[in-house]
Chain A
Amino acid sequence: DVKVTQSSRYLVKRTGEKVFLECVQDMDHENMFWYRQDPGLGLRLIYFSYDVKMKEKGDIPEGYSVSREKKERFSLILESASTNQTSMYLCASSLPGTYQETQYFGPGTRLLVL
């Protein structure tokens, strides 16, 4: 059974704090993605990675960075959290090749920045 896990379900942080969101997948997938989901805006891609130590900017990378030191782990970093980064953050992974566009999602992290 495919599994994508995220380190926290709920997080509350203060403005200016550095925030780390962790994502781990156990499916040996090359591709990993970070999205944020906001009402009326849907899922927006922040960053993605096609391989270890490789990263590509998505549609809204400003204020975020990522790290992929191991194949199974993809971290999202908010360098200095701001209130407009309050959102639901979703991690996903996929396997290139057959049904490569099929992304498997984690349960999400609800982040509140005060």
Chain B
Amino acid sequence: QKEVEQDPGPLSVPEGAIVSLNCTYSNSAFQYFMWYRQYSRKGPELLMYTYSSGNKEDGRFTAQVDKSSKYISLFIRDSQPSDSATYLCAMSGRGNEKLTFGTGTRLTIIP
């Protein structure tokens, strides 16, 4: 079993819809949770960062962490064609540790 599971998609939704992307994990030591966005043929870029449980909002993006269920989500409101990309979840434990990534979900927003 992988430490981090992420549905690879692909996921296609119409413009303006709310998108929900999710990851589950098995390592209870994870405390830092990130979402990266990767456009085609580019490197990943950090989108959202959260520590421990709770919600964090940044514009149209909301990151949610439920440590009791070992489940994290990224919500995109009013989705735009420019949101079409692969979204990677990543997480790590306390200390100077490496990141563990999900496999990524490919998202397409249809105009």
Contacts and interface: CB of A to CB of B under 8 A. Distances in A.
Interface stretch (B43-51, B62-70, B75-83): B43-51
B105 to A, nearest CB: 11
A96 B41 contact: no
A10 to B, nearest CB: 10
B96 A42 contact: no
Nearest to A90: B43
Nearest to B4: A42
Interface residues of A, number: 25
A105 B90 CA distance: 13
A88 to B, nearest CB: 9
A58 B99 CA distance: 11
Interface in A1-47: 4, 31, 33, 40-43, 45
Contacts of B8: 40
A64 interface: no
Nearest to A91: B43
Given A40-B8, A43-B88, A104 B103 contact: no
A40 B90 CA distance: 15
29 contacts: A4-B43, A40-B8, A40-B103, A42-B6, A42-B88, A42-B101, A42-B102, A42-B103, A42-B104, A43-B44, A43-B101, A50-B96, A90-B43, A90-B44, A96-B96, A100-B96, A101-B32, A101-B90, A102-B46, A102-B49, A103-B46, A105-B36, A105-B43, A105-B44, A105-B45, A107-B41, A107-B42, A108-B41, A108-B42
Listed from nearest, the 6 A-B pairs whose CB atoms lie closest are: A105-B43, A42-B103, A43-B101, A101-B32, A101-B92, A42-B101
